[in-house]
Amino acid sequence: MKPMLRTAALFALLFGLFALIGYAIGGGSVVTLGVFLFLAGIMNLVVYLYSDRIVLANYRAKIISEAENPRLFRIVARVASDSGIPMPRVAIVPMNVPNAFATGRNKSRAVVCVTKPLLDNLDDDEIEGVIAHEMAHIRDRDTLVMTIAATVAGAIAIFVRMAYWNVLFGGRDRRNDGSAIIVVIAAITAPIAAAMIQMAISRTREFKADREGALATGKPWALASALKKLELANGRTQIKNGNPASASLFIVNPFKGSALVKLFSTHPPTEERIQRLNELSETMGGPAVRL
């Protein structure tokens, strides 16, 4: 199955899961099902129109000018030119770990965001590799896809939690209703299913962005080296702010705390990503990064 068709199928599963939860909450009411489908449509319209503002606000990212960081602007401009896309806006994210992400619904509204620790810990070639990875996401409109996936998955978890507590404390009739059993089952399984669907969407796109970014710079080893450094740094430092539902936006997952987060990681194993980049580097006559 082509990646686009696979992604469409996964989105259909997400929306179907969202609609079924509404159907269960409404006790099998077609009206409630329609309301939840309407809410899903409104939610995704808002995300489509304002995804960049929403993400930037959530992470308190600051749009900067070229004068504020000439080094970063020079790298972003070079990669944008090589990738054949307009120069995106550039932002600094006040996070305590080295990481990066891109957001925006299309090329003209794109923003490339990096943290200061990334600039402090990576050399120019490694930063170029990271930026090229993010440019690949922008070119393929992955930023919009992953933001919508994160929004729907997060909404599923919230509505299921509300429904679960409503069943527990909503009165005897509600607890004895047949739909209550469905809600309780959904409370256990729906967030896991949503996380797995979101994971499948994100993992496929991370491999693709790694390859496209590496080909754009001609330096697969630089991106592999950057991923190794970022994985080590994010694995040993607890992130101080952020929402795990948006983990798929980052180049490496900054939320490494719990075993559940690791189990349903939105990113493929970094070791596998580095191995694939090493294989690409070998075909180009470049060095390999030790795992």
Nearest by Cα to 31 from 19, 17, 42, 40: 19
Number of continuous H segments (helices) and E segments (strands) in the chain? 11, 4
pLDDT at 30: 75
Alpha-carbon distance 234 to 19, whole Å?
Answer: 36
Q: Which two tokens stand for residue 99?
A: 């990481």
| pLDDT at residue number 172 | 46
Kindly tell me if the per-residue pLDDT of 54 is higher than 90.
no
Instruction: Tell me the per-residue pLDDT of 180-210, one tens digit each, with 9 for 90 and over.
Output: 566 566 666 666 666 666 666 677 889 999 9
Rounded to an integer, the average pLDDT of 143-161 is 72
Tell me: the pLDDT tens digits for 57-75?
989 999 999 999 999 999 9
What's phi and psi for 103, nearest 5 deg? -145, 170
DSSP state of 96: S
Sign of the four-CA dihedral 91, 266, 163, 30: positive
pTM comes to 0.80
Is 134 one of the annotated active-site residues of the chain?
yes
One of 134, 271, 272, 282 is an active-site residue; which one? Answer: 134
Give the number of C-alpha atoms closer than 13 A to the C-alpha of residue 34, restricted to the C-beta side: 3
